[in-house]
Amino acid sequence: MKRNPTVLVIASSGGHLTQAMCAVSTVELELVLVTNKNMLEDSPFARIHTIRDTQTGVLIHGLNVFSAARLMLKEKPSAMFSTGGPICLPFALLGKLTGTRFVYLDTMSRVTELSNSGKFIKKFGLFDSFLCQWQQTAEKYGAEYHGQAFDLGDNGYQ
Amino acid sequence: MVKPLILVTMGTNEYPFTRLYNFIKSDPLFFDDRCEWFVQSGSCKTDVAPACGVIETLIPRSDMEDLVRRSALVISHCGIGSLNLMLKHRKRVIFVPRVAAHQEFSDDHQLQIAAEIKNRRMQVIHPQDEFPRLQYDQILEDNVLSEPVDITNYDLARIINLKLTG
């Protein structure tokens, strides 16, 4: 039986995931999440997978390449989307190697420069689309800018 | 009368935020049972509980959202997920950015995002600042439930959708 197209969303728990959930809010394909800690109960995701987290641990990143390959074989995504953190790096690499579309939105929390994951993905060209949420930073790094995942303004406060 | 809830949130990252915990436990309202406290402490070690309330390390996202909705005042690290929740629920917030100098994060990006907060009901405590003395009357005045607002940027979401499906 042919499966529905799936988008793999890769985002660490907390702010990265909050931004990812805003950013994919109009995607009508099946969404599957890969995260480091599953703190979600109700969510738009059909399935949630967890993966080991590390900032700079080369061994963990190496092991995560195999975990990511296994998840991609299982889910067969038509595209992948990430807002970081570092857990996205193996998926960006495998996206490049397998020709699976990888769309990256650098986190809003880095205002004046890209995140470390963003710098790595940009430097090695491991993306099909690379977006930044701050205009000046997008210009500085040659990234696309289409605004922020959510509105930082007054939002009707009294 | 329902006690006003003061919510403290330190996020999910692995760096302990002891400075924020020390701030709150040095405030007399921490030991005043007219207020209820909920402290989400993350990896911060805690030794003293509030007079009324609990300390939990991590809680499900939906529970956190419900606590934010019910809170009169939120005291929070300056993480982007927390900022999103507080804007969505239009809360009065005291943000304390984590800084590398106190080993609260690997860098000072929370100071950068704090500088972008323009909301009148959101106060930022910089590393050189004193933590303000909490005022019970002010907290009582802010003890309101309001409907959440949708702050998603759907223009960006539509562009992401096109990139993923087009």
β-partners of residue B6 are B37, B73
* Contact present, B116 and B95 (Cβ < 8 Å): no
Q: Is residue A154 part of a domain?
A: no
Q: Is residue A86 part of a domain?
A: yes
Q: Is residue A157 part of a domain?
A: no
Report the CATH number that the domain containing residue A14 is assigned in CATH: 3.40.50.2000
- Count of the separate structural domains present in chain A: 1
* Smallest Cα distance from B51 to chain A, Å: 28
Q: Is residue A92 part of a domain?
A: yes
* Chain B contacts to A (CB-CB under 8 A): 11-13, 58-62, 79-85, 87-88, 90, 106, 109-110, 112-113, 115-121, 149, 151-161, 163-165
Question: Per mean pLDDT, which range of A8-22, B111-125, B141-155 is the poorest?
Answer: B141-155
Q: Is the pLDDT of residue A71 over 60?
A: yes
* Claim: this prediction has a pTM higher than 0.95: no
Give the one of B58, B109, B157 whose C-beta lies nearest to A109's C-beta. B109
* Contact present, A131 and A120 (Cβ < 8 Å): no
The range of the structural domain enclosing residue A27 comes to: 6-145
- Contact check, Cβ <8 Å, A24/B165: no
Give the one of A23, A41, A55 whose C-beta lies nearest to B156's C-beta. A23
The percent of chain B in helix, strand and coil, each rounded to the nearest 5, is 35, 15, 50
Neighbouring residues of B60: CB distance < 8 A, sequence distance ≥ 6: A39, A40, A41
Q: Is residue A152 part of a domain?
A: no
ipTM for the predicted complex: 0.93
Q: Is residue A43 part of a domain?
A: yes
* Smallest Cα distance from B3 to chain A, Å: 23
pLDDT of residue A136: 96
Written out in words, the top-level CATH class of the domain with range B5-165 is alpha beta
Cα A33–Cα A37–Cα A43 angle in degrees, nearest 5: 45
pLDDT of residue A156: 59
* A149 and chain B in contact, CB less than 8 A: yes
Q: Is residue A158 part of a domain?
A: no
The domain locations on chain B are 5-165
The predicted-structure confidence for A93-148, as pLDDT tens digits, reads as follows: 999 999 999 999 999 999 999 999 999 999 999 999 999 999 999 999 999 999 99
Exposed (0-12), middle (13-18) or buried (19+): which is A60, by Cβ within 10 Å?
middle
Q: Is residue A1 part of a domain?
A: no
Q: Is the pLDDT of residue A60 over 90?
A: no
